[in-house]
Amino acid sequence: MLGKWAKVIVQTVMLSGLCASVQANTTVADNAGNAAAEPAPLAQSDNAPPPKRVALLLPLRSGVFGAAADAVRTGFLTASERTRDNLVITIIETGDAVQDVLNAYNDAAAKYDIIVGPLARSAVTALAQSNNVVKPTIALAQPDLPDGADQRLPRQLLLMGLSIEDEARQVATWAERVKAPGKIFSVSTNVAWQRRAAKAFTQQARQIGLTVDNLELSVPNNALSASGLAQLSQRIQAEKPALLFVALDAAQTIQLRSAIGSEIPLYGTSQLNPLTLAGATAALNAAAKAAAANTAPPANDSRLPELDGVHLIDMPWQLQADHAAVAAYPRSVANADGKPNADLERLYALGIDAFRVASEIAAQHSGFDIDGVTGQINANMGAGATYFQRKETQAVYQDGVAVPVADQR
């Protein structure tokens, strides 16, 4: 730890979604990011180093990114409440437009020691292609860059956003260890994230010597094409692939499985898991009680038994209640309609780990490992190349919920 004292200073107009303990340590600023009043200086012991100033850039009132930004902020501040690091955290509200975010970033870089953000993929892309990264910066999304462009990223830019591409690459490495002889089919639709996942999987799989055929299904009326599924089923019968990588969501994969059967192993990303950890646990407990009482499962049973046997990658926050870091933090608040939301839970977890990474950088640890709630993190910022790697948890569906597999090689 850096020191004995810590304080959180929040520069936003809206403070919804925070737990009471976090709200108690906040001040309010106007929309331009100017503090309503200068914060009182932090008390310090004689030997304590000066606090590191951390700016968290988030589009909190955005119609598109507001809920995601609030989840990240809540996770970040929740993590800050559970440490004694000598950090001053200022939350700066940004707009949606890329130039507005870049202007806010440039202003923050002139005043703060560490910048956390931006959150939007387009803003991170613009920042990565700029010459403006002059302070340690923890980006909360992955940029859209041409292949190989990551070799030219700014030295002080750490990319720790949740990445469907990284998940797909991890699945490819996993598949190489477990698959039977034969080719792999990579199945997706024309949705942008699915195409990115399929591309990343295919590149990684071919790099390690696997044979992959890419198959893209159409989605008329928001459902996989019946004719496309029939053709896929015929190809599976004729070519007998070793496994399918499904760059699909859970509902689409259920539809796929109903068309092709359950004999072919399926592997996919975290998008196959729409349940929160709390929701999955509650569903299992309710089902167990119903079975003990010899009654039907509850009508609101959220389990997905149609996916039993399907393999996927997801973060510890979504899978491992007994994980030390997961158990150390409270669960996230529900979204506006009161329903659990797996994607917001993941962003809340991202906020927790973003604070922990910022703390390591503030402590001037150039290379460090974190057993994080989003995965096992290995990062370097300082001497040598800057990099960030996250290894997530391998899981399989059992009794309608995703559970970690025993062998996590």
Model confidence pLDDT, tens digit, residues 25-43: 333 333 344 433 333 344 5
Q: Give the pTM.
A: 0.89
What is the C-alpha separation between 23 and 182, in angstroms, rounded? 56
The residues pairing with 378 across neighbouring beta strands, listed in sequence order, are 369, 389
Instruction: State the pLDDT at residue 13.
Output: 33
**Domain assignment of residue 363, yes or no:** no
Give the confidence band of 337 by pLDDT, cuts at 50, 70, 90: low
Q: For residue 123, what is the enclosing H or E element?
A: helix 121-128
Kindly write down the DSSP assignment for every residue of 245-269, as one continuous string. EE-S-HHHHHHHHHHH-SSS-EEE-
What is the C-alpha separation between 329 and 307, in angstroms, rounded? 29
**Domain assignment of residue 408, yes or no:** yes
Last residue of a domain, one of 140, 159, 178: 159
Q: Which residue has the tokens 């510890």?
A: 316
Cα R_g (the chain), whole angstroms: 22
Give the confidence band of 2 by pLDDT, cuts at 50, 70, 90: very low
Number of domains in the chain: 2
On the question of pLDDT at 8 being above 60, the answer is no
Edge-to-edge strands, sheet with 266-268: 212-216, 184-188, 243-246, 266-268, 311-314, 393-398, 401-404
**Mean per-residue pLDDT for 87-108?**
95
**Domain assignment of residue 306, yes or no:** yes
* Least confident interval from 184-188, 275-279, 297-301: 297-301
**Mean per-residue pLDDT for 73-93?**
92
**Mean per-residue pLDDT for 371-377?**
98
Q: What is the CATH number of the domain that holds 48?
A: 3.40.50
The parent domain of residue 86 ranges over 7-159
Give the whole-number percent of the chain exceeding pLDDT 90. 70
Q: Which residue has the tokens 């159409």?
A: 218
Instruction: State the pLDDT at residue 35.
Output: 39
**Domain assignment of residue 20, yes or no:** yes
Last residue of a domain, one of 112, 144, 159: 159
What is the C-alpha separation between 301 and 283, in angstroms, rounded? 6
281 and 176 share one domain: yes
Instruction: State the pLDDT at residue 148.
Output: 65
**Domain assignment of residue 329, yes or no:** no
**Domain assignment of residue 349, yes or no:** no
Give the whole-number percent of the chain exceeding pLDDT 70. 86
Instruction: State the pLDDT at residue 223.
Output: 94
Mean pLDDT of the chain: 87
102 and 200 share one domain: no
201 and 316 share one domain: yes
Q: What is the CATH number of the domain that holds 215?
A: 3.40.50.2300
Instruction: State the pLDDT at residue 23.
Output: 33
Last residue of a domain, one of 124, 159, 194: 159
**Mean per-residue pLDDT for 350-363?**
96
**Domain assignment of residue 345, yes or no:** no
